[in-house]
Homo-oligomer: A and B are copies of this chain.
Amino acid sequence: MSEDLKQVVQDFNAYLERIQAIGYAASMVHFDMSTGAPKGGNESRAKRLGVLSSEWFTLYTSKEMGEFLRILGEHKDELSDVAYRTYWLVNRNYQKNIKIPKEFDREMSETTTMANIHWEDAKRAGDFAAFAPWLEKNIDLAKRYANYLNPGAATRQDMTPYDVLLDEYEPGMTMDILDEYFAKLRERIVPLLKRITDKNEALDTAFMNRKVPVETQRKLSELMMDKIGYNRDCGQLRESEHPFSISFGKYDCRITTHYHEEEFVSNIFSVLHECGHAMYEQNKMDEIADTVLDFGCSNGIHESQSRFYENIIGRSMAFWDNCFDEMKAVLGSDFDDMTKEGFFRAINMTSPTLIRIEADELTYSLHIMIRYELEKLIFNGSADTKDLPRLWNEKVKEYLGIDVPNDKLGVLQDVHWSDASFGSFPSYSLGSAYAAQFYYAMKKEIDIDSSLANGDVKAITAWLADKVHKFGSMRRPEELLVNATGEKFNPDYYTRYLEEKYTKIYGI
């Protein structure tokens, strides 16, 4: 790099720090809002966030930014790896941001805010018709958004508007890949689930609903965080309505949980899940700490890490071989009769249910598949909005074998369509599928079960850190998969994992 270019890189980084400081502060306000901020301040808070967002956007789309990117683009071959990836990532966002007119951004924000309010009311009342006009507005907005990003999409075969939306949440993801993926799930998992439900096995899991006071559950949270290896000096556990994780850079990655007194297991798996997200953020290489690359690379890869720690580790017998007695000691004498085997069966019980976020490991992706199929129908124009509840219910019957009693427990259950975040659902399922692909690659190098039984999660984390975590946003999802597993996304691993696991557990 020439001295001149070095200076440009330095000035560019200083400029990015201004954007990042505003983003950091806005995240802090969001975190505060979700962890107990006084309701009275909601309106002021929304106003402040609006101003911060506008400051962020102004800096991100400024002439000065354009000029930095122009110069760096001309010299991209001379840049260091980190400098190049910084340019690459910022340029991608810049090219996107400058395509969105400010007025559209405001229209989007106003409409989705209103749509969200109407969705909440409609959901409460189970009244889809009340939400339908707002859903239509949101669909229209999403189509226009896709058109701004990729004006040719509507008329081209290679990238449809829905592809544009998918790419927003999972860079590189397309309908072609997802069609193949979900076809495989339909073909392999739907019949597997049917074989299990047909067996109609009766399990006594009443102990799972015994009351466990919040104070005791807090101790379980600590046990889980320490067992899984979450670095609490660079993190924090808080409480919120719905569990989530949030990163303020690799040295400050926080998680939240929610305690249900009569469902202590809910907290255990929330903590393991959110620790997975947070450990991904904590294990990035020091070189990219606090830079724009200091974030996980996509929703799908992020979810792959949370699902790895929650399901592949957290629902394995080997993990509980190590932890069960310690958990039981915390739970106390009320749980004297609970056996390790009974607990293991209970946390791996599968049965079709109506609500996605409460679904078990096997049925979860089927919920996503239904959402994906509906979104495809919406965006290729073959479904009327008014038919969506019926289509939802039909698919639930077909894949899960159960009846949907009302739209509250059906098509209205999830917030995403009220936010116009079409295309985001698939990444939840891709996470589990990526996790399985990582799992089989890891198994070639590490004896996972004996590591877990010995309480050595570190060896597993070291593998993930080396292949995935350390890169932050320096690699695209596909690059990470190839780097870690030697091949592109391959859905076979996921169906194989589910089949091996559930045929063994259910003895079918």
Render A321-360 as a binary contact track against B, CB cut-off 8 A, 1 for contact.
0000000000000000000000000000000000000000
A277 to chain B, nearest CB (A): 15
A155 within 8 A of B: no
CB pair A232–B38 under 8 Å, yes or no, is: yes
Question: Which of A15-23, A90-98, A458-466, A488-496 is found at the contact surface with chain B?
Answer: A15-23
Report the separation of the CA atoms of residues A47 and B251 in the bound assembly, to the nearest whole angstrom: 13
Complex: how many Å from CA A41 to CA B248? 8
Contacts of A232 in B (CB 8 A): 38
A178 lies within 8 A of chain B by Cβ: no
- CB of A289 within 8 Å of the partner chain: yes
Known: A38-B232, A233-B38. A251 touches B289 (CB 8 A): no
Chain B residues whose C-beta falls within 8 Å of the C-beta of A18 in the assembled complex: 51, 55
Which single residue of chain B is at the shortest CB-CB distance from A49?
B21
Contact of A233 among B36, B39, B47, B51 (CB under 8 A): B39
Q: How far is the CB of A497 from chain B (nearest CB, A)?
A: 34
CB distance from A349 to the nearest CB of B (A): 35
Min CB gap A416→B, angstroms: 27
- Choose one: B48, B55, B252; the contact of A37 (CB below 8 Å): B252
Q: Please, which residues of chain B bring their CB within 8 A of the CB of A47? A: 17, 290
Report yes or no: A38 in contact with B254, Cβ–Cβ below 8 A.
yes
Contact in complex: B41, A24 (CB < 8 Å): no
Determine the distance from Cα of A26 to Cα of B55 in the docked complex, in whole angstroms. 15
Q: How far is the CA of A63 from the CA of B84 in the complex (A)?
A: 36
CB-contacts of A50-73 with B (<8 A): 51-52, 55
Which listed residue, B21, B31, B48, B236, touches A24 by the CB 8 Å rule?
B48
A52 contacts across to B, CB distance below 8 A:
21-22, 25
Partner of A252, one of B21, B24, B28, B45: B45
Number of A interface residues at 8 Å Cβ cutoff, please give it. Answer: 39
Q: How many copies does the complex hold?
A: 2
Q: Is A44 within 8 A of B236, CB to CB?
A: no
Chain B residue contacts of A37, Cβ below 8 A = 236, 252
Query: Any chain B CB within 8 A of the CB of A477?
Result: no
Given A25-B25, A28-B25, A29-B28, A252:B41 Cβ within 8 A: yes
Measured between beta carbons, the chain B residues less than 8 angstroms from A241 are none
Which B residues touch A39, using CB under 8 A? 233
* List of B residues within 8 angstroms of A289 by Cβ: 44
CA–CA, A21 and B49, complex, Å: 7
Question: Considering the complex, which residues of chain A in the window 1-33 have a beta carbon less than 8 Å from any beta carbon of chain B?
Answer: 17-18, 20-22, 24-26, 28-29, 31-32
Residue A296 at the chain B interface, CB threshold 8 Å: no
CB of A410 within 8 Å of the partner chain: no
Contact B251 A43 (CB under 8 A): yes
Query: What are the residues of chain B within 8 A of A161 when measuring CB–CB?
Result: none
Q: Which residues of B contact A24 (CB under 8 A)?
A: 29, 48
Asked if A285 is at the interface (CB within 8 A of a chain B CB), the reply is no
Would you call A498 an interface residue if the criterion is a C-beta within 8 Å of the partner chain's C-beta atoms? no
Residues of B within 8 A of A51 (CB): 17-18, 20-21
Q: How far is the CA of A39 from the CA of B254 in the complex (A)?
A: 12
**A231 within 8 Å of B (CB atoms):** yes
- A139 CB to nearest B CB, Å: 32
Is A235 within 8 A of B29, CB to CB?
Answer: no
Partner among B20, B31, B249 whose Cβ is within 8 Å of the Cβ of A41: B249
**Could you tell me the distance between the alpha carbons of A38 and B48 in the complex, rounded to whole angstroms?**
25
Q: Does A486 contact B (CB under 8 A)?
A: no
Cβ of A251 and Cβ of B44 under 8 Å apart? Answer: yes
A25 with B48: CB separation less than 8 A: yes
Is A405 an interface residue when CB atoms closer than 8 A count as contact?
Answer: no
21 contacts between A and B (CB under 8 A): A20-B48, A21-B48, A21-B55, A22-B22, A24-B48, A25-B26, A28-B29, A37-B252, A38-B234, A38-B235, A38-B251, A38-B254, A39-B233, A40-B231, A40-B233, A40-B251, A41-B248, A41-B249, A41-B251, A41-B252, A45-B248
Q: A22-B25, A31-B32, A38-B236 are in contact. List 9 more A-B contacts (CB 8 A).
A: A25-B25, A25-B26, A28-B29, A38-B235, A38-B252, A41-B252, A44-B248, A44-B290, A47-B290
Residues of A within 8 A of B (CB): 17-18, 20-22, 24-26, 28-29, 31-32, 36-41, 43-45, 47-48, 51-52, 55, 231-236, 248-249, 251-252, 254, 289-290
Q: Which 3 A-B pairs have the closest CB atoms?
A: A41-B252, A40-B234, A25-B25
